[in-house]
Amino acid sequence: MRAAGGVAVVHADGELEPIVTEVALGLITRAEPDVERVVRTLGRRLDLDRGKRFEFVTVAPDDEDVLAILGDGQAVLLKRPLATQDDGTEVVGIVLSDDAASATLELASGATVELDVATVAPASTGTSSAIPIDGARLGARLRELRLSAGLTQAELARRTGIHRPNIARVEAGRHTPSLETLARLATAIGVPTTRVLAAD
């Protein structure tokens, strides 16, 4: 469905199967406030300029690098230090601007680092600190690391609780997993998430 450009929106009263949660990409409603959130999310996804805004910015699991997800679904792993103001201390807060075109990272030292989406978007990255991520590269990298660890897809599924066909879809590049799912897979393989995101 998503490969054809479709979007799944789910309304549920009870528990959902993990595959439904994964396919819906957070577009799940359970009560009235959820409907408003889903409508706002759909509005952002239908915006032709969404690639010029951050969807979210976070510290990559198991590492201090920063992962930026753009509104069009592209992801960029930003290697630290991000700027001259980045003293390498822990990121203690991240605030997106109202228009989501920039993000301010607050460091434990009190310093702040400003990220502008125009400088980190994959189309404009000319620096070695930004690594664009796409589903095909990510899937191939995950498969390579799984095989290096001597694991089958079935064993990885057992360790993570993620159904084997879903792992196969990720490895084939037909599905890009959420950051949380990616972290679960990396942990089960025995590598940091950033090792999956970035080639050695």
Answer yes or no: is pLDDT of 3 > 60.
no
Instruction: Return mean pLDDT, the chain.
Output: 77
Q: Based on the domain organization, do 157 and 167 belong to the same domain?
A: yes
Q: How many domains does the chain divide into?
A: 3
The angle that helices 164-171 and 135-148 make with each other, rounded to 10 degrees, is: 120
Are 153 and 142 in a shared domain?
yes
CB 86 within 8 A of CB 79: no
* 40/60 same-domain check: no
Q: Is 101 left (phi over 0), alpha (psi -120 to 50) or beta?
A: alpha
Q: Are residues 38 and 112 in the same domain?
A: no
What local confidence, expressed as pLDDT, does residue 124 receive? 44
Q: Give 28: exposed, middle or buried? Use CB within 10 Å, 0-12, 13-18, 19+.
A: middle
- What is residue 18's predicted lDDT score, i.e. its pLDDT? 65
Q: What is the mean pLDDT of residues 178-192?
A: 82
Give the DSSP H or E segment for 164: helix 164-171
Percent of the chain residues past pLDDT 70, beyond the cut: 74
Please check whether residue 153 is in contact with residue 164, taking contact to mean a CB–CB distance below 8 angstroms.
Answer: yes
Q: Both 112 and 82 in a single domain? A: yes
Please list, in sequence order, all residues whose beta carbon lies within 8 angstroms of the beta carbon of residue 176, skipping any fewer than 6 positions away.
73, 75, 133, 134, 135, 138, 170
Q: What percent of the chain has pLDDT over 90?
A: 16
Provide the pLDDT for residue 63.
63
Domain termination site, one of 133, 154, 180:
133
Residues 34 and 59 in one domain: no
CA dihedral 145, 194, 166, 8 (to 10 degrees): -160
125 & 151 share domain: no
> What's the pLDDT score for residue 35?
77
Mind listing the pLDDT tens digit for each residue in 38-81? 777 777 666 667 778 887 788 876 567 888 877 766 778 888 88
Could you read off the pLDDT of 21-50 as tens digits, one per residue?
Answer: 656 655 777 777 777 777 777 776 666 677
- The distance in angstroms from the start CA to the end CA of the chain is 33
16 is in which domain, residue-wise?
2-46
| Res 96 pLDDT > 80 | yes
